[in-house]
Amino acid sequence: MQSPASVGLFSFARAGFSHSVAPGGEGIVQRFGWDRKNDAFVFTMKGNIPVRVSWTFAIPAALPFLYEWSRHPRLALTHTVTFAALLFLSVFLHELAHVWAARRRGIGTERIDLYLFGGIAWFKRGVASPYGWAWIAFAGPLVNIILAAGFAASYYLLARPLSAVGPDGLFNSPPPRPDTLLEWTLWLGALVNAVLAILNLLPAYPLDGGAIARHLLATRFDAVTATRIVGFCGVVLSVLRFAVIVPAAMAGILLWIPPSFTPNWRAFRATGSKKPVPQHPA
């Protein structure tokens, strides 16, 4: 059984895209170039792990700057390319951390997918303790926490001294309004990674936080109870997220954030006979 470890961006609907792999059924696996069958750019990492970057990964990268294209096309191009690079780096390193943590426990990776809602690392069959699986799931968000701290530190160390900041400016100054592209990039890098870390640590399906919570709870309760507790948290969070989505929509920002209602409701009701709740980090 493949075990997906995923990263959610604006949302995570693994169901829509989680075509399972048919082991050995794909014939010659493309190593580099454009994969027409999957409409994705493919490259192969060390350790013979294929990485598929779907064309849909460009959508969340381009969306935030659509409005800017009509007004300042050159600036919009710079912003879109920079944001796309940051997004790719942040999501890809997140997945690599899952891969690395799994490999340390002798669990190989089938492939990595990057697509509309983020990334998925598909693991090969493997065995780990509940704490082992929790650690594999936590490794992804941990990388985003480290990256966010690194970008934020660089921003304050490199970019802020360029502009005059008073001795107590840290507390009194308005939120940073980065002027140069370097400042903007560092600030955005911190923001993107902070958002990725927080969203992915929510205790809900199919996020890393849901997998962490379920594996840790399974050491105290039985597996079904652990699954249902996380499902309940996910149902509550799927409702609470509208406290962010609705005000954003009223401000003209279309936003979709995880967790979705359905997988969590299914886990809570424990009616997952058709689509079982993933047994490993999701």
Task: Quickly tell me which residue has 């007004």 as its tokens.
Answer: 71
Q: Which residue is nearest to Zn ion (CB)?
A: 140
Residues 260 and 238: beta-carbon distance below 8 Å: yes
Closest CA relative to residue 5, chosen from 102, 106, 147, 126: 102
Residues 109 and 101: beta-carbon distance below 8 Å: no
Half-sphere exposure of 28 (CA within 13 A, CB side): 4
The piece of 3-11, 28-36, 126-134, 169-177 that touches Zn ion (CB under 5 A) is 3-11
Nearest residue (CB) to Zn ion, 152 versus 199: 199
Separation of alpha carbons 227 and 231, rounded Å: 6
Shortest gap between Cβ of 126 and Zn ion (angstroms)? Answer: 16
Total residues binding Zn ion (CB under 5 A):
4
User: Is 7 one of the binding residues for Zn ion (CB under 5 A)?
Assistant: yes
- Please list the alpha-helical segments (H only) found in the chain: 58-62, 66-71, 73-103, 130-154, 169-172, 181-200, 208-217, 223-240, 242-250, 261-269
Nearest residue (CB) to Zn ion, 14 versus 241: 14
Separation of alpha carbons 73 and 85, rounded Å: 18
Shortest gap between Cβ of 234 and Zn ion (angstroms)? Answer: 16
User: Is 206 one of the binding residues for Zn ion (CB under 5 A)?
Assistant: no
Nearest residue (CB) to Zn ion, 76 versus 233: 233
Residues 218 and 277: beta-carbon distance below 8 Å: no
User: Is 113 one of the binding residues for Zn ion (CB under 5 A)?
Assistant: no
Restricting to residues 218-277, which ones interact with Zn ion according to CB under 5 A? none
Nearest residue (CB) to Zn ion, 5 versus 235: 5
User: DSSP label at 100?
Assistant: H
Shortest gap between Cβ of 247 and Zn ion (angstroms)? Answer: 27
User: Is 8 one of the binding residues for Zn ion (CB under 5 A)?
Assistant: no
Nearest residue (CB) to Zn ion, 99 versus 186: 99
- In the list 4, 50, 140, 189, the residue contacting Zn ion (rule: CB under 5 A) is 140
The piece of 9-17, 19-27, 65-73, 204-212 that touches Zn ion (CB under 5 A) is 204-212
H/E segment holding residue 44: strand 40-45
The piece of 4-12, 73-81, 153-161, 185-193 that touches Zn ion (CB under 5 A) is 4-12
Nearest residue (CB) to Zn ion, 5 versus 51: 5
**Residue 203: helix, strand or coil by DSSP?**
coil
H/E segment holding residue 122: strand 118-123
Say what the alpha-carbon torsion angle 139, 230, 111, 35 is, to the nearest 10 degrees.
Answer: -120
The piece of 69-77, 100-108, 133-141, 164-172 that touches Zn ion (CB under 5 A) is 133-141
Nearest residue (CB) to Zn ion, 98 versus 228: 98
User: Is 208 one of the binding residues for Zn ion (CB under 5 A)?
Assistant: yes
Q: Which residues bind Zn ion (CB under 5 A)?
A: 5, 7, 140, 208
